Structure 1
């Protein structure tokens, strides 16, 4: 029954939402048909084995904690390693490199599964990500195993096409169930909105504050926050700044603009969602707020509407629930793991 409801919901999301635009222009997916087929198979067959933690631990970051707790309660778990597609290596975020190396060495010596793939069918949660190391155990963990981290990840701590980032979690209570649908009319008062954390000082933020086309607020009350999202055409995010409200922005039809000075490949669910058609990645090293204004005003109304609608549709998959729902953030993380379950089986060899 749960599988049927999930597929019905997904089928609804994949249907064209407007006669004015083609399904392709509205769809937030790289391939909706592939997602539908794979998601059904994942629900039926995907199994994960969790190693017993060597010491008690918890994840202090909300997305990581929600993922781990949801996984523990999910039907994806198996107590039989023989039927597992992937193996989860649990450890505390503050584990030292020496202790982490010892943990991997113990897995290698006490279990047969790590050596079959040199860790390629294993995954772990590290909110900040892990760096490269000369230690052989940590090097295999870094290069081969799937890392799940918080978005955004420090440069060098994330390997595209292998690693996964968790969608941000915004603790502010917002009535997302009351957000407008993709076809609702909208009127904006501001070109860009920046919800400033009050900590990140920059010349660019000061320029935004002095420009009437931009709205800059600190720690808004929830009602003012919603109004600001509704009245703004674009929502501005400083990469490695406060991105917790990005999903809220998308749900309310405010197109995300990520201000970053280099290409990024750690946006959540990049294997599934067409971020290039839902958000703008811009560098404003020169020109500041005025240059950004030129870029945003250069987006055609047709392109903007398509980005807004695709982002609103995609936001359904980026929301964390205390009790997981079909195709929510937890299930989409599982889907990213499902896509990575095919590991290369290395010839087994003895290690000293």
Structure 2
């Protein structure tokens, strides 16, 4: 009965590429309703639970490449979205942490699939809510790519539940666009760049990273010795932040996965991101018009990269970078959430999907 409120936007569905939102009016109106009414029930666990380390929020401030998973859970548990009455819940949160299970010697990479299978079995036996919908109104959050394979022995999670994951690729089995959602991979930072607006961006494009995919190998092969596109592999001799602040375009090049923190890094330092990762379901793609603040280049077009970037006029670049500065707030975590930051944007994605799961669950 909620189907009319589900608004998903595919590529090309927007009309004006100058606007950072597909439809700003719809987003702002829905956002107000989301904040007013959205309720999440979290399956409870005691502090003395033997796996409290993986089921409860972290005590310390999250850090590192996969901090998004921990940030989301920590902020959610203290938010007004939480309800202790499951009958009032729009969605149910499965609070296991893939990152923590991965490092738990009792579980590890090899034992995560069994842990998730057993966890879902226990939830379905103790509570009525999983069986009522087959998990369609449940969700979990994971940033490490192991989260995808973790569901192999719990197929209902993979096919029914909402998966909010960093490794959001159309190409890989198990991720279903519009049912699932992309969690932005964000390296936590506290201080704003001091020279964000005044920075002199003398480099055309910049990339630094390991050679861990054919796409990156191709980038290195073509642009390694170029004087305008700086494709750097190995340890940098200059500060990473200085390179981002000194470049007009910052390259996000697919590695083992489609996702890295480089997209959020680019936005944070006011650098226009160039996405070179086919089949990437970009973060908040249901809300944000990525063509208004980024450049998307097919991996086959790496040899044409300089032509593509130099073909962007000064006026067009100014528009792209101006929009980067508008959207960067959506890609930042705060322990006390701020309107429209990464936490609230993920919640909005879930709010959209709570309507879809309501319709889907009627089929069970």
Q: Do Structure 1 and Structure 2 share a fold, with TM-score over 0.5? A: yes
Deviations 1:211-261 (A, max 9, x none): 001124555588x4344223322111112368323223224332111222x
Q: How does 1:171-320 map to 2 (within 5 A)?
A: 171=188, 175-176=192-193, 179-180=196-197, 188-197=201-210, 202-217=217-232, 220=236, 224-240=239-255, 243-260=260-277, 262-265=278-281, 267-285=282-300, 288=302, 290-320=303-333
- 1:76 maps to 2:89: no
- Name which of 47, 53, 57 aligns with 1:57: 53
Alignment of 1:87-98 (within 5 A): 87-93=92-98, 94=101, 96-98=112-114
Which residue does 1:149 correspond to in 2? 165
Deviation at 1:24, TM superposition (A): 5.0
- Mark the CA change 1:193 to 1:101 in structure 2 (over 3 Å): closer, same or farther: same
- 3-state SS in 1 of match to 2:359: coil
Give the 3-state SS of the residue equivalent to 2:75 in structure 1. Answer: helix
Shift of 1:88: 0.5
| Deviation of 1:296 (Å) | 1.6
Alignment of 1:34-45 (within 5 A): 34-45=26-37
- Structure 1 residues 171 and 76: alpha-carbon distance in aligned structure 2, compared to 1, 3 A threshold: closer
CA offset at residue 163 of structure 1? Answer: 1.3
SS of residue paired to 2:318: helix
Shift of residue 144, structure 1, vs aligned partner: 1.2
TM-score scaled by structure 1?
Answer: 0.79
Distance 1:238 1:348 in 2: 40
3-state SS, counterpart of residue 195 of structure 1: strand
Cα distance in 2, alignment partners of residues 198 and 151 from structure 1: 18
| Residues 1:139 and 2:191 are matched in the alignment | no
Q: Measure how far apart 1:162 and its partner are.
A: 1.4
- What is the alpha-carbon distance in structure 1 between the residues aligned to residue 178 and residue 68 of structure 2? 21
159, 176, 180: which one aligns with 1:159: 176
Where structure 1 has 5 or more consecutive residues not aligned to the other structure, the ranges are 1-22
1:179 aligned counterpart, secondary structure: coil
- 3-state SS, counterpart of residue 65 of structure 1: helix
Supply the distance in 2 between the matched residues of 1:172 and 1:216 (Cα, whole angstroms).
24
Q: Does the residue aligned with 1:64 lie in a helix, a strand or coil? A: helix
Q: Is the 8 A contact 2:181 2:283 kept in 1?
A: yes
Distance 1:263 1:134, change over 3 A: closer
SS at match of 2:130: helix
Aligned counterpart, 2:108: none
Q: 1:176 to 1:146 in 2, by over 3 A?
A: farther
Counterparts of 1:85 and 1:28, CA distance in 2: 28
**Greater mean alpha carbon deviation, residues 93-102 or residues 314-323:** 93-102
Q: Is the 8 A contact 2:39 2:82 kept in 1?
A: yes
RMSD of aligned C-alpha atoms? 3.1
The answer for the alignment partner of 2:105 in structure 1 is: none
Asked if 1:102 corresponds to 2:115, the answer is no
Residue of structure 2 aligned with 1:47, choices 25, 39, 42: 39
Structure 1 CA distance for aligned equivalents of residues 348 and 363 of structure 2? 29
Please state whether the residue corresponding to 1:294 is helix, strand or coil. Answer: helix
CA distance, structure 2, for counterparts of residue 175 and residue 335 of structure 1? 25
